[in-house]
Structures are given as structure tokens and as C-alpha cells.
Structure 1
Amino acid sequence: MYKYLGLPVKSVKKELDQLNHNLNKMIAADNPILYSAAERIFIAGGKRIRPIVILNTAKFISIDKTISTEQKRLAEITEIIHTASLVHDDIIDNCDTRRGVNTVHSVFNNKIAVLAGDFLFAQSSWYLANLNNLSVVKTISKIITDFAEGEIKQGTKSFDNNISMDEYTEKSFYKTASLIACSCKATVLLSEFSVSRDKHFYLYGKHIGLAFQIIDDILDIISTSKELGKPAGLDFKNGNLTASLIFTLNKKQKLYKLINQEFQFKDDVNEAINMIKQTNSIHKAKDLAIEHIQLAIQIVKKQHSSNKNGIDLISICYYILNRFN
């Protein structure tokens, strides 16, 4: 089930429907277990935010408002890369549900899940190579490197109460924003009309990606497991200290103790969340996301203030913030 509510899909609905149809073909595998594992997370649906960003960007930069075959393929490749990263993330985070359904490793085992994630990365690389655009290959390949870098940075800062906001932002870029930023840049590189604008759209993708991650981390604190489709408070349980907690550290000294003991007791995570809610830290984290959204909106407006498709790119920005409400 694809949850497009609130997302600007009207102008790209045909391409999005084709993308959903093509994804199953693109992940086909000879081994039935591998295919079943790789397919599982696609069954859960999702919002398809990354393809929606790419398809709307492609229309925005096109003189005749068309999306090329290569740009459509890029949207599919990006969603496969994102899905592969989720399969691996769920293993690392020991997350048993995703989008309300059981994760790949909980249905099969860690070994099958790792292989399924690797298979998806391999498939995306094969289709990427077939775009026959070296600049795009270099740009998208950087994403997979950044994923690994982000996981390492998150791992080395696990339960580290000295983590700075800059370190949190850097990790968020590697784990989330890099994919959107590089995909937006690659979309422009695949257009013969707008090559000189690739840096601007890279920054657009970077800022909405960072805002997305900040809001995602807030939702992990304020939402229920049912609303999230995965266990609430999972970030803290896994030692992932996010913006709201970092803002709270100097206001609630007991947080240091809870972090040092790695939230090992049953009520530790709930106690930490309650401390955060007693401060203005969630509001400060949202303000941080708003700053990134404002920067992204300014980029779109400077590119072409009268372009109707710019409204869709701006709507994506507001959608990211409204996930908070």
C-alpha cells in the first residue's frame, strides 16, 4: 500500500505507478528465497518520497516538462538503494517490524537478510551502470559509501553523551541526506538542459534530507509504535542519540546516567523521553529542521520563481515538516 497522502504526486502519478510496477521486475532473482526476502520490504509499501522528489525535480528542470527514460530509471534505482539500506539497518538496529510488517531478518534470518540487502545493492549498481553516464555513476556510487560511513559514525558514537550537534548532523547526512542530495544532482546531470544547476539541486536534496531525518528522530520520541510501524524509542535503545536528546543534555543531568548505563532498565527510555518533553528541546529540534526547509525553499525559488513545478518541490518541503503534526 502506497501512502501518498499529502505528497505532490498528481503531476507524476503515471510515472510513479510505472515505477511501482517496474520495481518487482528489477529485483527478480533466480533463487526463490533471495527474491522473497528482497521483495518483502517492497510489499510493505511506503511513501516513495525519494522517487517523488526525483520525478518532480526532473519535471521542474525540463523545458517541455517531460521526464526522460533515464530519469525514471534513476528514480527506481534510488528506491532500490534506499530499500537495501533499510534491510541492513533493521539488522543493525535489531528492529523486528518496519512499516507495520515483520522485517526480512525476523522472517528469515540475519544471513539471508544481509544477502538480500547485498543483492539489492548489486541490482541497483547494474541498472546504474546501464545508464551509461559516468558522472551519474560516480554521483550515485558515493551514496553507498556514505551509508557505510554513516553506520560507522553512528556506531562509534553509540551511547556517547559527548556527541555534538555537528556530529549528529554529519551522521544524518551520511545516513539519509546523501541519498536525496546525490539523487537530485544526478537527475540534473541526466538532463541536457540543466547541467549547470546540479550543485543547486544537490543542496536542495541535502537540506530536505537533513530535515527529514531530524523530524524522523522527533517522531521516534513522540509517536507510538503503531503510528511509526516500528518500535518507538528505538533510537535510544540502540544508543543513537538524536537532536532532541542532545539539546536536553545540559538541562537534565540524570540523562548522563541513563546514557552511561545504556538504558538497560525497563523504564529508562521512557524516563529519558519524559525528561526531553519537560524541556523545549523537541521544539528546538523542529526549529533546526525548519531552518533546513527554509534553505531548500529558497533554492527552488531562486531557480525559477514562476515555474509551476516548483510548487511541487516546495510542497515536498512542507510535507516533511507536517509529518511532525
Structure 2
Amino acid sequence: MTSATSLFSPVEADLRLLTENLKQLVGARHPILYAAAEHLFGAGGKRLRPAIVFLLSRATMPNQEITAKHRRLAEITEMIHTASLVHDDVIDEAELRRGVPTVHSSFGNRVAVLAGDFLFAQSSWYLANLDNLAVVKLLSEVIMDLAEGEIQQGLNRFDASLSIEAYLEKSYYKTASLIANSSKAAGLLSGVPAEQAQHLYSYGRHIGLAFQIVDDILDFTGSSEALGKPAGSDLKSGNLTAPALYALEEKPYLEKLIEREFAHEGDLEQALALIEDSRGIERSRELAAHHAQQAVQHLSDLSPSESRQALIELADYVLSRLY
């Protein structure tokens, strides 16, 4: 299986610089926020979102060096993503993220909420300083979408009548919007035509959806060690994802367990067994593969390059996390 590290080798130096810059951007003025930022940016995430921004920046500027604005866009993208994770962890009362204690479990809820707000505010400030209205609009929309996704998820807890379409819409808001809009923004900073910028948006949208669906499958099939959080935690909290929604079509009793919010002893274990015994996981894999294939089709008008190849292979990498 290809690792994210080898996949991102065309932009390895860009990502190293990004990590250094992120710590400096947060600045040492607020020691507690700086400690939180060090904790976040040092937690060794995959850096998937900035890597896509860098790869698309290089793929759309084939014989030129990428600009300082491309680099700043990648930093803003990671800041927005990190801010949303900090807030998500507070809402979900999660103790671990990538196997590392979350900001609120290390520093308390107040600092975590403020750290998230601070990162959103910082990213907005750096965004405005790009002096590119189209890019500002794209990434401002992402910040709205993240909140919309979180609200939808909160309102739909334990709702067994949720449709796959509604699930995909929420997944777009929570995950794919940032990847789609920052992909398009990278193209706009490179000066690509409007039609091509739209293809980059579609690439990011489909990759983002595939990534989220795979994450949701892993919540059922991964080990707690690999996930960095307890397995089955989405279902337990009432967040119904593709495997559960597909399983509901085959296993009517699952609806009863969900609607009573796993109140009786053994309910959650029974629900997990019903999902495992259905085609829910298999159909979710097919859905993820569909979106990964769709993503690749939107790269056809980019000229061949190492970065374009990495973007194509990324679609396989996203799916390979399941095996």
C-alpha cells in the first residue's frame, strides 16, 4: 500500500515548510494558544488538505515555481481544518484525536473553544490579505459550510429516517467543501480558465466525499489503536453514516435500537452486529469507490506531471485505507 508520505513526495519540501510556518503564524504572543497550536500542528496528521493544494498548485503551474500566495492558501486550508477539529472534539467530548489527547482534554474547554476561534480568525485575516476576492469568497463559504455540517449532524442524531442524500450533503459540508473550494482556489491563483477551475473543484469534492465515506467505514472496521479513538463511536453518539444507513434497509430491528438511543444493555453491540451482518459496509465501499473514480475524471485536462500523477494515485490511496 502506498503511504501518504511517498504519495506526497513531489511536495514534501512544501509540506515541511508549511509545518514550520503554521507554528509561526499562530505566534508566541499567547503562550497557551501557542502550546495548543504546537500540540495540534505537531500531532502528525496526514496533511492531506495542504498536500492537495500544493499538488494542484504545481500541476497548474507546470514549468514555474508556485507563488507565496499558493503557500499561504495551503496554510490557511490547514488552519481552517484544524480549527474545525478543535471545535468538533469539544462538541463530541472526544478524549483522543489521532491517538493524542485532544486540546480540550489537555487545556480545558475554554481554551479549546478560544483556540478554535483564534485559528478561524487568523485564517480569515490571512485570507483577506491574499487580495483575491474570488478566493476569499470560496474559503469564507467553507467556514459557513463547516458550521452548517455540524448543525445538521447535531439535528439528525439518532434519526433512522436520514437518507443517503442527506448524509452525503452533511459529508460535503463537514469534509468535502474545504477540499473542493481550496482546490478551486489553487487553480484561480494559478490563473487557470473558469472551466478548469470548476474541474478542480469537482476533483476536490469527490475526493473529499470518498475520504469521508472511508473514514465512516473505518469507524466500524478499524481498531481503536488505528483510529486513535474508540471504534463504533459515531454510531454510539447517534451520528448515522453510510454503513448504518444502508444496513437499515435490510435490518428493520436496527431502527428500533437506534431510536431508543441504545438505552438497553447490549443494544450498541447488537446494532454493530446487525450492520456487520448486512451489505452496509460493502455498499459503502462501492459508494467511496464511485466518488474516487469520479474525482480522477476531472483531472483529464491537466498536462502530465509528477504532481498530476500523485493526485490520480491519491484516489487509490484513499480507498486503500480500507484494506
Determine the structure 2 residue equivalent to 1:310. Answer: 308
Alignment of 1:67-106 (within 5 A): 67-106=66-105
Once the two structures are superposed, residues 140-195 of structure 1 have per-residue CA deviations (whole angstroms, 9 ceiling, x without a partner) of: 11000000100111111110000000000000000000000000010011113445
Once the two structures are superposed, residues 216-270 of structure 1 have per-residue CA deviations (whole angstroms, 9 ceiling, x without a partner) of: 0000011111110112111112110000100010211221121112123453323
Q: CA RMSD, aligned part only? A: 1.6
Determine the structure 2 residue equivalent to 1:221. Answer: 220
Are residues 1:38 and 2:37 paired?
A: yes
Alignment of 1:248-259 (within 5 A): 248-259=247-258
Q: Quick one: distance in 1 between partners of 2:288 and 2:252?
A: 25
Determine the structure 2 residue equivalent to 1:138. Answer: 137
Residue 253 and residue 78 in structure 1: after superposition, are their counterparts in 2 closer, same or farther (change >3 A)? same
Q: Quick one: distance in 1 between partners of 2:63 and 2:194?
A: 16
Q: Quick one: distance in 2 between partners of 1:160 and 1:194?
A: 43
Q: Quick one: distance in 2 between partners of 1:228 and 1:128?
A: 32
Determine the structure 2 residue equivalent to 1:280. Answer: 279
Structure 1 runs (4+) deviating above 4 angstroms are: 193-196
Residue 304 (structure 1) shift: 3.2
Residue 13 (structure 1) shift: 1.2
User: Which runs of no fewer than 5 residues in structure 2 stay unpaired?
Assistant: none
Determine the structure 2 residue equivalent to 1:108. Answer: 107
Q: Quick one: distance in 1 between partners of 2:43 and 2:263?
A: 31
TM-score (norm 1): 0.95
CA contact (8 A) 1:27 1:39 kept: no
Residue 61 (structure 1) shift: 1.0
Residue 316 and residue 156 in structure 1: after superposition, are their counterparts in 2 closer, same or farther (change >3 A)? same
Alignment of 1:10-89 (within 5 A): 10-89=9-88
Q: Quick one: distance in 2 between partners of 1:270 and 1:112?
A: 35
Once the two structures are superposed, residues 81-131 of structure 1 have per-residue CA deviations (whole angstroms, 9 ceiling, x without a partner) of: 100000000011111000111101111221111111000101111111111
Determine the structure 2 residue equivalent to 1:322. Answer: 320
Residue 320 and residue 65 in structure 1: after superposition, are their counterparts in 2 closer, same or farther (change >3 A)? farther
Secondary structure at 1:190's aligned position in 2?
Answer: helix
CA contact (8 A) 1:7 1:316 kept: no
Residue 309 (structure 1) shift: 2.8
TM-score (norm 2): 0.95
CA contact (8 A) 1:217 1:242 kept: yes
Aligned AA (2:122): Q
Once the two structures are superposed, residues 42-75 of structure 1 have per-residue CA deviations (whole angstroms, 9 ceiling, x without a partner) of: 2211100001111111111114153211111111
Aligned AA (2:253): K
Aligned AA (1:312): A
User: Which runs of no fewer than 5 residues in structure 1 stay unpaired?
Assistant: none
Residue 34 (structure 1) shift: 2.4
Alignment of 1:232-243 (within 5 A): 232-243=231-242
Residue 6 (structure 1) shift: 5.6
Alignment: residue pair count: 322
Aligned AA (1:51): P
Q: Quick one: distance in 2 between partners of 1:29 and 1:163?
A: 45
Q: Quick one: distance in 1 between partners of 2:66 and 2:194?
A: 15
Q: Quick one: distance in 1 between partners of 2:307 and 2:42?
A: 30
Q: Quick one: distance in 1 between partners of 2:12 and 2:33?
A: 30
What percentage of aligned pairs have identical amino acids? 50
CA contact (8 A) 1:53 1:316 kept: no
CA contact (8 A) 1:7 1:319 kept: no
Q: Quick one: distance in 2 between partners of 1:59 and 1:194?
A: 16
